[in-house]
Amino acid sequence: MFDTLDDVRTDCFNRLIRAPRDRKSPMHTPVIVSADVDARVMVLRAFDSGLATLRLHTDARSPKAGVIAGDPRVAALFYDKGAKIQIRARGTGAVLTAGPEVDNAWAAGTNFARRCYLGDGPGAASAAPTSGLPPEFEGVEPDDAQLIPARENFALLMITITALDWLYLAHTGHVRAQFNRANDSADWQGQWVSP
């Protein structure tokens, strides 16, 4: 099934291309790990195979934004149970709050989704269970004018991948390959490794 390293790298990239486009893809919601070894599930919004970058949406006020600013090492874990394929990606992260890519991602969102950035910042303490949203927006879609203050809290987490670890779980024997590149403009170097 996967006889060459090129087949494996193509498989990795094809799965990452599909993941943001297909909400039912098992790789649509990877686990993202920051340098403080905190992990969270996030929605993959885009993958650029030419640049090997992952794009996710986040709140600029989130603790991970500060962690990544101080130490940009980030990892992502993807798993497709049906295909029995795990992809681990490592790279450098950057939280972007301004620029055309951020503006375009904000504009592409629905008002209902953008309302998340109106509420309290992630991790804000509460005496009771809370969505963090202002009460007037619980279950309500705000209009464009009401969302103006939310825009300053919206950010992109961009991860530039520098290493991939691909694992295929097979009853006949697992198969694993690794790919690395020295920087974001270098060619990928692959090797087979023992699982």
Q: Read off the CATH number of the domain in which 65 is found.
A: 2.30.110.10
Beta bridge partners of 192: 177
Domain count, the chain: 1
pLDDT at 185 over 90: no
Amino acid, res. 52? A
| Token pair in block for residue 84 | 């029995």
pLDDT in tens, 125-184: 999 999 999 989 988 899 999 999 999 999 999 999 999 999 999 999 999 999 999 876
132: left (phi over 0), alpha (psi -120 to 50) or beta: left
Closest CA to 28 of 40, 16, 14: 16
pLDDT at 37 over 90: yes
> 């403009």: which residue's tokens?
185
Q: How many residues does the chain have?
A: 195
pLDDT in tens, 92-135: 999 999 999 999 999 999 999 999 999 899 999 999 999 999 98
Please answer whether residues 153 and 61 qualify as being in contact, where contact means their C-beta atoms are separated by less than 8 angstroms. Answer: yes
Looking at residue 130, the DSSP 8-state letter turns out to be -
126 within a domain of the structure (yes/no): no
The residue ranking higher by pLDDT, 183 or 73, is: 73
9 within a domain of the structure (yes/no): yes
Please answer whether residues 56 and 156 qualify as being in contact, where contact means their C-beta atoms are separated by less than 8 angstroms. Answer: yes
19 within a domain of the structure (yes/no): yes
Structural domain span for residue 70: 5-103+155-193
Whole-number percent of the chain with pLDDT over 70 = 98
User: According to the model, what pLDDT value does residue 2 have?
Assistant: 84
How far is residue 65 CA from its own chain's centroid? 13
144 within a domain of the structure (yes/no): no
